[in-house]
Structure 1
Amino acid sequence: MSTEKCEAMNEKSDLSRYLSLVSEQIERRIARSKYLTYFLSNKFDRSIVFSGRRSEGVSIAQSDTDFMFEAKGVFVNDMPNLGKSSDQVTQLVMDLTDVHPGYTKLLFENDRNDKDISEFAVYGNGLHSLCPQGTNFVSNTFVLDYWNSQSASILPDQHREKDLHFHGPCVLTAYTIMMTRHEIDVAISFKSKWPVVAEEWIRRERKYNWPSSCMINQIKEQGINLVPVGHANSPNKELEWRLSFSKAERLLVWSFNPVQQICMNVMKHFFNSQIAPKFPKLFPSYFIKIAMFWIIEETENCFWIEENLLPCLNALFERLVVYLEEKKIDNYFIPADNMMDAKPEDKLNSLKLELLKYKYNCNSVWLQILNIGMSTFDKNDIYYHHIQINCLSISRFFIYTKLFDLDYQTCLRNLEGARTILNGTDIFPVMRRHLISEINITKACLQFHNDCNKSKVHAERDIKCIEKKLQTGCALNNSTGKLILCTFLLYTKQYQEALTLLQDIEDQFTDLVVYYRIWERSKKPNDEDYDLSKPRSSFEDTMRTYIALDVIVLPFLLRIYPLSVQSIPTAEEQVLFIHPVLYTKVLKFHCHHMLQNHDECQTVFEEMKTYSAMKQYHSDLFSENIVANCEKILNKACIPIFNHKKGT
């Protein structure tokens, strides 16, 4: 790197440090994408493609969270299958006549499908009912209507907004958790082998051997998807389907070296902050990714090195300006598809002029974005581990929301199924061990509860046995270990033991603790409070010291939970997720109530009310209902005491 560039970056070590940190974080984000794709595909019993910027290691404001479901029992061929139709799938055929490049119509051949075995068979007359009258082409509009009708039952209901609406080929839904709204695009798609129309990409001569022949074969083997959306200018767009190369694009992005990944990240940050507000939806970030594919394929590998980071960014910027001048950006897999041809020319010209304003001070813009990026990469324990903790929270949510059924055998089957899924992947092994331990604790509670239902007498040996199993979970963290044990101590009338442990738990909830709930956390993990001079702790130490997960209340275990909590899951017909601090106070309240410590009971109740009123921590009515139930218990307990004091 030249002296001038070194001075601009302050020191070369700053850039090296940034590259190292970004590379590490991108690697973890990609691991998260792989884990979520694997885990959710198994939980939903269907193939899922986790795509969008988040899946590719890009993390900026309003990053996409996209999930593409592959329809069950449907497969698309790019030419008629002259043989017998498969017994495994219902087959469709691509029809590329009179369509824009990159799009196709899908023909449903009745004579080649003796019976419709796709998931659409339950929808009217199956796929045939999704063809407009008088045609055998599957309507993307009808499929979207079907998907809209099914999404509500497929997606988790808790914390989800009830209204779903279309967003291009996706159903847009939103989850509100701790007063933060998360929008998620969920698309339905048909799986297809690699199409002949994209065969040029497979055979294309590549001077610099990117992507490698091994990756090309891998991409071809996994095929593509067809998504229900037509070209914007097509007169028959309701019958057209777009060829989606999301799986191929994801593998290509995952193959980027750190400099290439940073180039794409920085450019997307630049467009998101400087360009998109002035030109909304005109130049999607997807174009930046496609530009990266082309420029990497056409450039020597030695160009993409740390010393060339700024020239690499400038080369990408100049490529985007050229696209705007030519009003053309070729699809990377089907070059005949100009993805810009539906954009208004006058707006593209205005955008080009806007970009040219930055042409002579590009380096300062890139450095500013890089410096902002460097400031967010403090290597404390929470930040280092938070991607795994995020996956842990999501996994817990999807596993335990399926335990709303009051049937004991159903709950056990769901727990065993979740454990099988977790054992099937080598991604985030420490996180998986943590979750499997929690599942084992829940299973022990279920078995004990089931035994209690059979007999009203609790054998001392059974109580000690379950208590010993719960003791093993105390090392997990405040919510999944100690609070479950405290719940059991309350149930078995060991009130003083529970109070001692509850006080220990409260003392651990310092300002350093970050509360994770599904996709949300109570504060940014890169706090300045952490002592970065100490060696980074292990994942287990981080979980014990800094992390608090929500307490999960299962309807099947109502008998074990405090009285103020028991009625709520039944009324709500779902699993409860309770803030650990609030639940700690609830348990203390009930222990003092059973010990007839009325003053302490009143004090804890006031603390509970104050904490529940902190709406930044609680967005649901569960906490309010729990507090209301505690108030009823308190009033019943205080009436005779009050009368006694009055001499009545």
Structure 2
Amino acid sequence: MEDLSCILFDTLDCIGYNQEMIKYRRRAWENLTPIPTVKFTPITAGSKAEGISTLFQSDIDRMLILKDAICTDKIGEVSKKSNMTVLHTDTSESPHGYTRLKVVSTNGQISRLYLKDSMFESESKDIYVSSSLFASNMKNFAMERFQDCNLSGPAVFSSCQQLTSQDTVLALQCDASKILQKWKSRRRLNSWPPAEVREVAASMLAEVVPVGSKGSCDQWREWRFCFIESELKLTCSLNETQIKLDIILKMVAKDILKNISNEISSYIMKNVTFWLSELLQRVEFRKGNLLALLFLSLRFLRSCISQRYMPYYMIPGRNLLAERLTDDNRQKLSELLDALLTEGPSLILRLPKLEAAMNVSLASPASIVEHRNRRDMIEKLHLDFGMCWLRHEEDLSYVSILSRIPMLYDIVEKMCHLVMPDYGTCFNNRIPAEYYIAEMLERVKSILS
């Protein structure tokens, strides 16, 4: 099985999951994150920020954080801050991982504008902010910002021309140092995350987003803690094998488990990777052990589903499976995971992208390396093109962008030569740029999806 693990590891390298491409994507999305405005600090989250998905593979996850509001349990330290709205994170009556937001002061002009219609008076005459009212009010904000959008949970979904779509969450920054210090200091059997990574992750600000605990009678007033930047720090500390394990688990969720339930999300799979990374010695995460680690992960997931409990890595008391699975779905998922574990390495053949690449890799190792070089070059050019496109997404035509940014002509020409052997004919026949660029992007999408 070690030989097959090595083949699988190398195959992932050849389809866009090598360290060089992952780092390239991380840098690209770090550079792409919009400049903070007077109102918001933007954050790119999810698989884009982690560098493990191409532009076409998943939506862009963005968080816009109100700049003049802070949620905290250290009221004495921040209650007198001028020009800041201060909210107390009252967790006394909320499930693990959730909080109510009690208004301490409303000195922030911008946040007061966004929060005022979401406030309500409690039985004790204290003023709180309702998550459900805030999420509903987001629709008005979204309609002003996006032409075509809809709400999904706490996120606003919007399309962005032919390149990608975006989920945007309006959130509040949060000092959750007590939670993070508890996370940092809890007993661990092994050395992941490294002490220096834990120290940095525990020093970062968190966020609260407007969504309550499923099944809670107070869901409408509860907010959920998030640790976007801390978790990104953890992901970036994973080694190559851990990253590839996470990628395969997300493929399993998307290509296999999704046929039974959408509730086993890529985020749940990331938590499986985190837990396994902490529970096993780092020496176990090596190239020849990739398949064995996959089976251990699926057993861990199978156990969590059986017990109806998946601990959230940052706050183990929060159950990521709470109210997610019906008895029927739970039973079917358990049976499917049992079947996958019985199949052994052949379960890889259920993952279309990996199956196709491994067939090429086994039949012609030289061919798959040539494919890697070409696809990586295409993706790097496409990222450079996409970054410029997304920065000017208000433009409605390719030509207008190219005319405003002449340097893009070079990128477009190189991409066209790589994916369109007939490019010279299009150019010589003076076919309008928007037509051949649209065709080029469709071909790039096919290669990178």
TM superposition score category, shorter chain reference? 0.7 to 0.9
| Equivalent position of 2:298 in the other structure | 317
What's the CA shift string for 1:440-495, capped at 9, x where partnerless?
x959xxxxxxxxxxxxxxxxxxxxxxxxxx8xx69836789xxxxxxxxxxxxxxx
- Structure 1 residues 236 and 373, CA, compared in 2 at 3 Å: closer, same or farther? farther
| Equivalent position of 1:56 in the other structure | 50
**3-state DSSP class of the match of 1:191?**
strand
Alignment counterpart, residue 386 of structure 1, candidates 373, 379, 382: 379
Q: Letter of the aligned partner of 1:71 in structure 2?
A: L
CA contact (8 A) 2:79 2:86 kept: no
- Structure 1 residues 329 and 32, CA, compared in 2 at 3 Å: closer, same or farther? same
- Structure 1 residues 251 and 387, CA, compared in 2 at 3 Å: closer, same or farther? farther
1:171 and 2:156 correspond: yes
1:522 and 2:412 correspond: no
Distance 2:282 2:408 in 1: 51
Give the superposition deviation at 1:397: 4.4
| Equivalent position of 2:421 in the other structure | none
Instruction: Summarize the alignment of residues 133-212 of structure 1 with structure 2, pairs less than 5 Å apart.
Output: 133-134=121-122, 135-155=126-146, 160-161=147-148, 164-177=149-162, 182-212=164-194
| Equivalent position of 2:272 in the other structure | 291
| Equivalent position of 2:103 in the other structure | 108
Alignment counterpart, residue 507 of structure 1, candidates 428, 433, 448: 428
CA contact (8 A) 1:68 1:187 kept: yes
- Cα RMSD, aligned residues only: 3.6
Give the superposition deviation at 1:381: 4.3
Distance 1:133 1:474 in 2: 55
Gap regions ≥5 residues in structure 2: 361-367, 415-423
Distance 2:345 2:412 in 1: 48
Instruction: Summarize the alignment of residues 119-518 of structure 1 with structure 2, pairs less than 5 Å apart.
Output: 119-122=110-113, 127-134=115-122, 135-155=126-146, 160-161=147-148, 164-177=149-162, 182-279=164-261, 281-343=262-324, 344-366=326-348, 369=351, 370-373=354-357, 378-381=371-374, 383-399=376-392, 401=394, 442=404, 476=410, 506-507=427-428
TM-score (norm 2): 0.80
Distance 2:159 2:183 in 1: 37
CA contact (8 A) 1:194 1:221 kept: no
CA contact (8 A) 1:330 1:336 kept: yes
Distance 1:78 1:50 in 2: 26
| Equivalent position of 1:563 in the other structure | none
Give the superposition deviation at 1:199: 2.8
Give the superposition deviation at 1:146: 3.0
Give the superposition deviation at 1:28: 2.2
**3-state DSSP class of the match of 2:305?**
helix
1:36 and 2:32 correspond: yes
* Count of aligned positions: 415
**3-state DSSP class of the match of 2:128?**
coil
Give the superposition deviation at 1:402: 8.1
Distance 2:232 2:223 in 1: 20
Distance 2:276 2:208 in 1: 26
Give the superposition deviation at 1:305: 0.5
Give the superposition deviation at 1:371: 4.0
Distance 2:101 2:38 in 1: 26
CA contact (8 A) 2:305 2:330 kept: yes
| Equivalent position of 2:22 in the other structure | 26
- Structure 1 residues 317 and 384, CA, compared in 2 at 3 Å: closer, same or farther? same
Give the superposition deviation at 1:384: 2.1
Question: Which has more radius of gyration?
Answer: 1
- Structure 1 residues 133 and 17, CA, compared in 2 at 3 Å: closer, same or farther? closer
Alignment counterpart, residue 91 of structure 1, candidates 86, 91, 99: 86
- Structure 1 residues 396 and 117, CA, compared in 2 at 3 Å: closer, same or farther? same
Distance 1:224 1:151 in 2: 23
- Most deviating of 250-259 and 128-137: 128-137
Gap regions ≥5 residues in structure 1: 405-437, 444-469, 481-502, 528-648
- Structure 1 residues 175 and 203, CA, compared in 2 at 3 Å: closer, same or farther? same
| Equivalent position of 1:615 in the other structure | none
What's the CA shift string for 1:508-533, capped at 9, x where partnerless?
989xx99657xx91313787xxxxxx
- Percent sequence identity is 18
Give the superposition deviation at 1:391: 4.2
**3-state DSSP class of the match of 2:101?**
strand
- Most deviating of 382-391 and 94-103: 382-391
Give the superposition deviation at 1:72: 2.5
